[in-house]
Amino acid sequence: MREQPQMRSKFGACAKRSAAGGAIALALSGLPHAPASAAKPPYGNCVAVTKQEYDSAKKQHMLRTRYTEYVRTGLPGRRHYWYCR
């Protein structure tokens, strides 16, 4: 008979943790999803690219071609890199 109160207390604690975890997950899922790079592109037809892609194009002297260009925006330490068509 003594085991039942202990089992009830363990079950109650587990249920409380599950409910708390569910509440946190529900609260986080309700937040708006913002992209990592929230900066607006310089033109309407630009897509974000990595610094490595930008540096590779710079090394190959292809930052600007006849129909496309790579653009770097932002201040040092907060740069954003774009590929525009």
Task: Give per-residue pLDDT as tens, 45-61.
Answer: 999 999 999 999 999 99
Query: Which pair of structure tokens corresponds to residue 73?
Result: 């925006």
The answer as to whether 41 is a domain residue is no
29 and 52, same domain (yes or no) = no
51 and 29, same domain (yes or no) = no
Residue percentage of the chain with pLDDT more than 90: 53
Print the domain residue range for 76.
Answer: 46-84
The answer as to whether 25 is a domain residue is yes
51 and 80, same domain (yes or no) = yes
Domain count, the chain: 2
The answer as to whether 40 is a domain residue is no
Report yes or no on whether pTM surpasses 0.95. Answer: no
28 and 54, same domain (yes or no) = no
